[in-house]
Amino acid sequence: MKHQKQPLFKPLMLAIPLSVSVALHGISPVLAADNMAQVDSRYYSIPAGSLDSVLNQFALTADVSLSINSALTTGKRSSGLNGDYTQDAALAKILANTNLVAQQTQNGSYIVKSEQGDDGVNLPTITIEDNNARSDMSARDQKGYDDVYDKNTSTTFIGKTEVERYKGTTPSDLLQGVPGVFSGEARNSGALDLNIRGVQGPGRVPVTIDGTEQALTVWRGYNGATNRNYIDPNLIGNVQIYKGATNERDVHSGVGGAMVVKTLSPDDLIRDGETFGAEFKIEGSSNATGERVPALHTGELATDVDGYPAGSAYPYADKTLRVNLKSKSDSDNNPLNGGDYAYRVAAAKKSEHFDVLAAYAYRERGNYYSGKNNTGYYNNPSVADTRDYITSLAQYWQPGDEVTNTSSLMESWLLKTTWHIDDDQKIGFNFRQSDSTYGEIMPSRINNQSDRSAIQWPLSEVTAKAYNIEYSYKPIDNRWIDFNANLWRTDTVSDTYTSGGFPNQTLPSDTSGVLYDNAVANANSTRDGITLSNKMNLTDTLDLTLGGRFQHEKLTSDDEYDEAASAGWRMLPRAGRREEWETNFDFAWRPTDKLKLNAGMTYSAYWAFDDFLAAHPGEFSQSTTDYYNISYSTGYVRTDEEIATLVAERKAFFKTYLDSGAISQAVYDQIVAGISYDKTVIENTYNNYATWKTDADGNYDRADNPCLNGELAGKNVVSCQTNPVNNISIAEAKKHKDHGWVPHAGISYQFTDYSRAYLTYTETLRYPSMFESTMAFSASQNPYGVKPEHAHNWELAYVHDLTQWFTSAEYADIKIAYYDNLTENVIERDSNFKFNNVDEQKIRGIELSARYDNGRFFTGLGVNYTLQNEICDEDSAAMLSTNDLMRAVDNPIPRCFKYGFPNGYQLAQATPELSANLSLGGRFMDRRLEIGGRATYYKGYENSDLDWYIANSYRAGELGYVYFYNTPYSWGDTLIFDAYVRYKINEIFDVEFTGSNLSDQYYVDPATRSAVAAPGRTFKLGLTGRF
């Protein structure tokens, strides 16, 4: 029988989901599809689970309409479905041992009812003939939330409703409430920099939007770098986050996981039974005031500009970049005051052969205000020795005041089209563009000035475009073909205030004293890629999935480079090309209904080339330390009593001259004041006693250093030095490349219809990114080369469906997972500002997820507890030891540091040991009214390893270990409350009122690289209309 047309984005949606059954008087259609009665046999692979979930997945796969009384399925389980079945046989298998049967109607749909013919209610069964039905939660989103418990991997899902409710002030607020997941530089970047379970950085946690990637790594001076993903929350349909490396089909995963973003689809807009739908959304938020951007003085003479510190090469004290700060007033609590407003207009049309969607979104927000309460952790006098500017933050950024450089304006367009070629295949074209203008400032520019909170820099600008063509071919009667392809391109043009200079600055090479904007940096990033996959059902119990991925990246800059001109700390304009590709396969075997096994391999390779270095041959040199000469001195150390005796004797000697009249009292006093004795008495010095050499990878080991390995013990050594013997050579552009195979495997076992456990093992390679493959200030290339990171990830989890005990619940699940991740050869910046591999990063932790929903009340709980997060590396410990070798003998540098070694990038990527989220809510008035809220908790920053290092670091007049750049920023214990009220006025309009940070906490976000406080209490009022 010929199939009727199947629309794109086949509605993975509950036709009025089971969660709406109360409002529908106990009747809940499970899933609807096109009107048809498919009698041919086809292959199914549906895991065991709740009966509701299995029926939903069957209806989606079979393209058939089901209707059921929800009271009949509540609390029941199904063993799932694997193999070839007709629709009748499939339903019989699914409903086995449930006392339910499926009855086919004349139009080809099915009604599921009791074997005794009692539907349980005297109401007609509801059947939705078109699977375009809308509800508060689409089945696409419902499936995403179910996947948290159904997939054999750790995931978090954020549906469209939740995205729009809690999108907050900056894109990073999307992640608030997701335990173990954070965004680096949350308030000073205008973008997302995903951190999952302590893993962060370019390529470690890829973010894809409709299958496209456009991450851009941005230098933050001595505070490291951020991997920015510019994203407009107003275009998001849903978000799925994979925690840890995964081999999920069509998902680009890094060593830390992945974030998969889907934009709006036609099913988000078109109502049940309709072919056209439109939506507009208007929002206003409080807690913002218009930014006042100072005018720049480019081209003017420094001496002619009032407030500019003429003659200063580094104008930190430029008064022209200061504004008068505003304090939050009562009017700033009004969400309609115009300080922050947004709107979105979207429309979609479906026909037999074509679907189309168009959307436009706009949001403009000024600088926000910080919170006022719980400032204790942030309100301490500044202590220079710790360099942690967070603990004194409230001393400069007063609670409740405007936070400069935090404004944002974003304008976005989205176009999606789909051509349904026939019943088995479709092709779609998508286009997305987001223009962003936002405030940011280099972290080092707001660290030391007494009026640092008043500094306002010009605004950065980013334009991000994405194009992709999606194709799928899934013939209904061919078990060998289930093919997906996605061809994509992204273009990102950024002009950001991240170069390292100042917005008004004279150049030493320009003696006229003309001012330049030396702070803005241009970058043009283009990525082209393709993703392919095909799933084959080799037998009824064995599947094979093949996949491939290719990506070409090109980075250029319009910034001028003049070898002879000194620009003062300005970063070189990066330019380069990079390619990466992979192929993979995965066998999934189901030897029994309870046991499932999977295993496979991935082959990947890359190359990268520095175009900027190649374009300037002979202009840059590189320094390589061939080895260190070891010298030492012997002697002894005087006690304080000995020194006091020597001083007294010397004074007595000159006293005889004073008494004899040979010198005056004034001369005597002057001589006595200068009497001092060194504590250390050097008797012999042995220069170039030995050499300290590297291994083949350029790494040093303390076991080879006579100063540290005990070789000089017993020789009364009072001083020991390492003197580098450097080799200066011309830096040459070289093509860096690498490749490798890695395996993955997993096993899951269904103990009962309600419980299962799984164990997965996944290895992943991460090759050096574009940022790590090109040269610039404070991040140079390693002449020894850099190896790819190699992650070994284990996860053990137990999942239980609690509806066997909570029989009235629609959902009641709990999942607890233990993860153990070891990453070898982690790419890090070393103490010589070169990228290098450190030995390993060890991360272990426990994560808990739970949910409960009985239709009226619902709750969810998420907890992540990190048991271990440390970086271990002998070379890093050896290099830090050279700063004070004598101290390193008595107080040796540990080989492992919590979060990372001082002065490296990893240390600044720390996340809370404990993070948790609790959500609660209820539905009333036949679900027209919904009230809910959530509490988010972060445990404060603690690092005993860093505390020890700081105590032993250099201070004025005393030797010690070096500690002055890329210092991490801490945070205090944080508890944030958010709440919302949503009311459905009628079938067209609904209104929602949301409050964020209700207790008006003063806090900073974990993993920040800038001293910037988070937003205070904010109210949002939104109106949505659907037609």
For residues 547-566, average pLDDT? 86
Cα–Cα distance for residue pair 876/897, rounded to 1 Å: 10
- Which has the higher per-residue pLDDT, 888 or 15? 888
For residues 870-894, average pLDDT? 94
Nearest to 773 by CA among 555, 489, 568, 525: 555
For residues 835-856, average pLDDT? 96
Q: Which amino acid, 187?
A: R
- Which has the higher per-residue pLDDT, 617 or 567? 617
For residues 252-270, average pLDDT? 95
Is the pLDDT at 29 greater than 50? The verdict is no
Nearest to 3 by CA among 85, 140, 108: 108
pLDDT confidence tier of residue 152, bands split at 50, 70 and 90: very high
pLDDT confidence tier of residue 676, bands split at 50, 70 and 90: confident
Cα–Cα distance for residue pair 318/323, rounded to 1 Å: 11
Is the pLDDT at 18 greater than 50? The verdict is no
pLDDT confidence tier of residue 923, bands split at 50, 70 and 90: very high
- Which has the higher per-residue pLDDT, 776 or 639? 639
A 10 A CB-CB count for 942 gives 12
Q: What is the pLDDT of residue 714?
A: 85
Q: Which of 63-67, 145-149, 169-173 shows the lowest mean pLDDT across its residues?
A: 63-67
Q: What is the pLDDT of residue 43?
A: 78
pLDDT confidence tier of residue 126, bands split at 50, 70 and 90: very low
Is the pLDDT at 289 greater than 80? The verdict is yes
DSSP string, 160-195: HHHHHHS--SSGGGGGTT-TTEEETTTTSSSSB-EE
For residues 727-736, average pLDDT? 90
Eight-class DSSP state of 619: S
pLDDT confidence tier of residue 24, bands split at 50, 70 and 90: very low
Average pLDDT of the chain is 89
Q: What is the pLDDT of residue 81?
A: 87
Is the pLDDT at 994 greater than 70? The verdict is yes
- List of domains in the chain: 18-133 (3.55.50.30), 367-412+469-620+731-1026 (2.40.170.20), 629-716 (no CATH)
Query: Taking the model in full, what pTM does it have?
Result: 0.85
pLDDT confidence tier of residue 16, bands split at 50, 70 and 90: very low
Q: Can you give 225-241 as a three-state secondary structure string?
A: EEEEECCCHHHEEEEEE
Contacts made by residues 473-482, CB under 8 angstroms, sequence distance 24+: 473/424, 473/425, 474/424, 474/425, 475/424, 476/3, 476/38, 476/40, 476/42, 476/423, 476/424, 477/40, 477/42, 479/43, 479/84, 479/536, 479/537, 480/536, 480/537, 481/534, 481/536, 482/534, 482/535, 482/536
Q: Which of 492-496, 686-690, 749-753 shows the lowest mean pLDDT across its residues?
A: 686-690
For residues 835-863, average pLDDT? 96
DSSP string, 301-334: BGGGSTT--TT-SS-TT-GGGB--PPBP-GGGG-
- Which has the higher per-residue pLDDT, 65 or 904? 904
Nearest to 216 by CA among 230, 228, 233: 228
Judged on CB neighbours under 10 Å (0-12, 13-18, 19+), 147 is: middle
DSSP string, 44-77: EEE--EEHHHHHHHHHHHHT--EEEBHHHHTT-E
Is the pLDDT at 38 greater than 70? The verdict is no
Q: What is the pLDDT of residue 472?
A: 97
DSSP string, 718-786: EEEEEEEEEEEEE-----EEEEEEEEEEEEEEE-SSSEEEEEEEEEEEE---HHHHS-BTTBBPPTT--
Which residues, other chains included, contact 353 with Cβ-Cβ below 8 Å and sequence gap of 6+? 5, 419, 420
- Which has the higher per-residue pLDDT, 40 or 731? 731
For residues 627-646, average pLDDT? 90
Q: Which of 334-348, 712-726, 977-991 shows the lowest mean pLDDT across its residues?
A: 712-726
Q: What is the pLDDT of residue 456?
A: 97
Q: What is the pLDDT of residue 200?
A: 95
Q: What is the pLDDT of residue 17?
A: 33
Q: What is the pLDDT of residues 435-451, one digit of tens each?
A: 999 999 998 888 888 89
A 10 A CB-CB count for 985 gives 12
Is the pLDDT at 1 greater than 80? The verdict is no
Is the pLDDT at 486 greater than 90? The verdict is yes
Cα–Cα distance for residue pair 132/73, rounded to 1 Å: 23
Is the pLDDT at 140 greater than 90? The verdict is no
Q: What is the pLDDT of residue 87?
A: 86
